[in-house]
């Protein structure tokens, strides 16, 4: 049965999805909805499967069971060309920006336009200038990524992600490494771009404050499963142990600090010593 929270159709749907790296399970029986025009945050501790969800939606990974659909089309159901066409509907801001270091800011933003369209160079120029104006970096167009700050580079990556006015924009840790001013500006920009483009935004982040300030809905993942979901307001007052630990940054709770495995004493060969 399709779960509905918003009275709008979904752009992305994940149904009973299972994914593993070899023998190591990452996602199990995962079902998620991403409605059109909404900002949906996907949160959870390190290793909970958040970035894997984005890679499955983008077709970089193929699930062992279940499926992912984007705009009614099953990801990875067709050939490479079909996947390539589907990706034209998507924009992606990678965790570390992933800018081409030997290209200028302008050419980084122009790359998807040149790759996916046959637009004349003058029109590409005008579109890139407008995207850079949107993120406040029009006058940095001819600089290289190494010549601008980390926060500016993140904004360039954002301009590149929206170059094709995509239906779906995915952000992988967009606030990581930003100062408080840049963080707040980036959050506001993500919200405004979503509303201006009428797109669907999937936001993967650890940052509770900024994510909650712009998200319409939140999924919490743990050990590859959805353990909680709801609006930011609902999550702030949730009594669920996992949500409380994450939202309040509590050291003790269901999420352990150490990766599971044998004890320190066993690893040091102290198991038999008194």
**Which tens digit of pLDDT belongs to each residue from 32-64?**
999 999 999 999 877 778 899 999 999 889 999
The answer, as to whether pTM is greater than 0.85, is no
Whether the predicted pLDDT of 151 surpasses 70: yes
Over range 166-180, report the average pLDDT.
Answer: 86
Per DSSP, 197 falls in state H
Whether the predicted pLDDT of 75 surpasses 70: yes
Percent of the chain's residues with pLDDT above 90: 36
Over range 88-110, report the average pLDDT.
Answer: 87
What domains are there in the chain, each with its CATH number? 10-246 (3.40.50.300)
Choose the weakest-confidence range: 20-24, 124-128, 190-194, 266-270: 266-270
- Alpha carbon 100 to chain centroid distance? 20
Whether the predicted pLDDT of 116 surpasses 80: yes
Top-confidence residue, 270 or 27: 27
In the predicted model, what is the mean pLDDT of the chain? Answer: 85
**pLDDT attached to residue 237:** 84
DSSP symbols for 154-194: HHHHHHHHTTT--SEEEEESTTTT--HHHHHHHHHHHHHHH
Q: What is the spatial distance between Cα 102 and Cα 108, in angstroms, rounded to a whole number?
A: 9
Whether the predicted pLDDT of 147 surpasses 50: yes
Whether the predicted pLDDT of 169 surpasses 80: yes
**pLDDT attached to residue 253:** 59
Per-residue pLDDT band at 84 (split at 50, 70, 90)? confident
Choose the weakest-confidence range: 63-67, 138-142, 251-255: 251-255
**C-alpha dist (Å) from residue 145 to 98, 100, 161, 255:** 10, 8, 16, 37
DSSP symbols for 136-157: T-GGGTTS-GGGS-HHHHHHHH
* Most confident among 80-84, 241-245, 255-259 (mean pLDDT): 80-84
Over range 137-152, report the average pLDDT.
Answer: 89
**pLDDT attached to residue 2:** 43
Choose the weakest-confidence range: 4-8, 32-36, 91-95, 245-249: 4-8
**C-alpha dist (Å) from residue 197 to 49, 125, 164, 169:** 28, 20, 11, 10
Top-confidence residue, 207 or 215: 215
Choose the weakest-confidence range: 5-14, 15-24, 222-231: 5-14
Over range 96-124, report the average pLDDT.
Answer: 89
Q: What is the spatial distance between Cα 263 and Cα 50, in angstroms, rounded to a whole number?
A: 27
Tokens of 174: 């967009």
């Amino acid at each position: 049965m399709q779960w509905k929270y918003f009275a709008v159709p979904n752009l992305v749907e994940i149904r009973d999805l299972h994914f593993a790296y070899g023998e190591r399970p990452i996602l199990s029986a995962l079902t998620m909805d991403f409605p059109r025009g909404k900002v949906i945050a996907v949160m959870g501790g390190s290793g909970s499967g958040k970035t894997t969800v984005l890679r499955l939606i983008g077709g970089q990974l193929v699930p062992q069971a279940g499926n992912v659909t984007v705009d009614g089309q099953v990801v990875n159901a067709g050939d490479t060309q079909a996947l390539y066409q589907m990706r034209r509907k998507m924009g992606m801001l990678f965790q570390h920006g992933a800018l081409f270091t030997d290209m200028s800011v302008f050419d980084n933003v122009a790359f998807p336009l040149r790759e996916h369209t046959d637009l004349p160079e003058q029109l590409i120029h005008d579109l890139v200038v407008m995207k850079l104006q949107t993120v406040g970096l029009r006058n940095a167009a001819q600089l290289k990524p190494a010549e601008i700050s980390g926060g500016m580079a993140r904004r360039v990556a954002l301009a590149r992600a929206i170059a094709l006015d995509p239906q779906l924009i995915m952000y992988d840790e967009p606030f990581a490494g930003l100062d408080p001013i840049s963080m707040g500006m980036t959050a506001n920009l993500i919200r405004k771009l979503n509303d201006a483009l009428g797109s669907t935004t999937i936001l993967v982040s650890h940052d509770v404050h900024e994510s909650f300030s712009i998200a319409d809905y939140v999924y919490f993942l743990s050990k590859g499963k959805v353990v909680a979901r709801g609006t930011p307001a609902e999550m702030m007052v949730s009594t669920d142990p996992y949500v409380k630990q994450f939202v309040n940054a509590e050291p003790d709770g269901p999420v352990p600090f150490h990766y599971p495995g044998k004890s320190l004493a066993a690893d040091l060969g102290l198991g038999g010593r008194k």
